[in-house]
Amino acid sequence: MTRSNSKGARTNRANQVQQLAEGSRPHSRLQPRIDISDEKARLVLEWWQRMHSGRRPLVAVVLKPVTWQIGSTTERYIWEVCKWPQRDSYVWHFICWSIDGIGAWWKPFPSKRTAIAYFCQAPAVVMAKSQPAPIKSSTEVDVREGAPT
């Protein structure tokens, strides 16, 4: 039995992430093309890879990078239209992966055509719809990791 070299394992993982960023992985037809020298972007890319591999992966159809101004800061996103497995079939989804913010949000659609139509809208239209509604009662709780309790 041999022990894995942690430096070698890290190098191998870095090579895999680089291949993902370049879109050169043979098993995957579509990959987000983002700068992996940025730690946040690299983490999102790894998260994206986990969601698009395995037993019931998401299947990306179209992707694009988007920037959006929030107050005085600019945040980066990856927009995607994909097939999301649901029991014995799938549902079309638009997913907005946040690089600089918290997580991702998604919206289901009845067809690929409607999902792509949503995807093709201007960022001002899509991102304005993504803003959370104000909390209406004191019984609603923010369940995000690290949110004040």
What local confidence, expressed as pLDDT, does residue 85 receive? Answer: 93
Model confidence at 143, pLDDT cuts 50, 70, 90, reads low
What rounded mean pLDDT belongs to the chain?
75
What local confidence, expressed as pLDDT, does residue 4 receive? Answer: 46
What does the pLDDT average to over 83-105? Answer: 91
Contact in structure between 137 and 124 (CB atoms under 8 Å): no
84 within domain boundaries: yes
25 within domain boundaries: yes
137 within domain boundaries: no
DSSP per-residue string spanning 50-104: HHTSSSS--EEEEEEEEEEEETTEEEEEEEEEEEEEETTEEEEEEEEEESSSSSE
1 within domain boundaries: no
What local confidence, expressed as pLDDT, does residue 135 receive? Answer: 44
Task: Please check the confidence at residue 27 and state whether its pLDDT lies above 50.
Answer: no
Task: Please check the confidence at residue 2 and state whether its pLDDT lies above 50.
Answer: no
Residue whose pair of structure tokens reads 């920037």 in the numeric block: 67
Residue range of the domain that includes 92: 11-129
140 within domain boundaries: no
36 within domain boundaries: yes
104 within domain boundaries: yes
pTM of the complete model: 0.65
Report which secondary-structure segment, H or E, holds 42: helix 39-51
Residue 104, beta-bridge partner list:
97
- Angle formed by the axes of helices 39-51 and 6-22, nearest 10°: 80
30 within domain boundaries: yes
Contact in structure between 31 and 58 (CB atoms under 8 Å): no
Count of domains forming the chain: 1
Contact in structure between 74 and 118 (CB atoms under 8 Å): no
